[in-house]
Amino acid sequence: ALYARHKLVLGALSVQAASRAEDHVVEMVPQELAATAWALAVLRCSSGAEDGCTRWGKLDTLLENEVQNRLLEGDDHGFHPRELCNVLWACAAKRSSNMPFMGAVAIRALDCLPEFTPQGQSSFAWSLATLQGSCPSSSMFFSQPAASAAATIYQYDTQALSNPSWAFAVLEWNSPSLNAAISSAAVRRLNECSVQALVMLASSLAGLHREKK
């Protein structure tokens, strides 16, 4: 009974959100668009793929179209690294296949990549890897994040440290400077790493060096 009530409430919320979205999405500031996209991805993942698409698909499409239009038209004021990371994470979490949308977001993210925090750079790399096969395939989408991560890897905490190495191993993208930077940082901070971080680092570094052969 509780589960059935829960689904009814979710259904009522989704209907209200979709009915209001057409008039209000255009008025939302970038922070609101990004936060809503993030929350919507969490909702769709927790609701199940089919149910999530049915309930929230219309709002999802409206949000993607609004963000894409603003980025392509140059009306991107307010889309700072945090907002772009949230949108990219949402794409990765729901395994988006909207290439024009992801391309617009990724290009804007590359423009302000130097402004990203280490966690933001790590999240960007993770999103690219999770979207493997769906994200733009141009080498700039891999070479710039790899170079940026290599230059700032010493600022990463131990959890963030394992993300870029894993991401670029998944993408089969070999960057000697990034490999060397991650290996050096990992050796210096072995005592700080959790068991999970140690295993992820070992696995991803092995993958990176395997691709290098």
Given a cut of 60, whether residue 33 has pLDDT beyond it is: yes
Categorize the per-residue pLDDT at 52 as very low, low, confident or very high, splitting at 50, 70 and 90.
very low
CA–CA gap between residue 38 and residue 89 (Å, rounded): 7
Question: Is 80 within 8 Å of 115 (Cβ atoms)?
Answer: yes
What is the residue type of 132?
Answer: Q
Phi, psi of 112 (to 5 degrees): -115, 20
Per-residue pLDDT tens for 107-155? 888 888 888 887 788 778 777 777 765 555 555 667 878 888 888 888 8
**160-198 per-position pLDDT tens digit:** 777 777 777 777 777 788 888 888 888 888 888 778 878
Task: State the Cα–Cα distance between residues 208 and 211, nearest whole angstrom.
Answer: 5
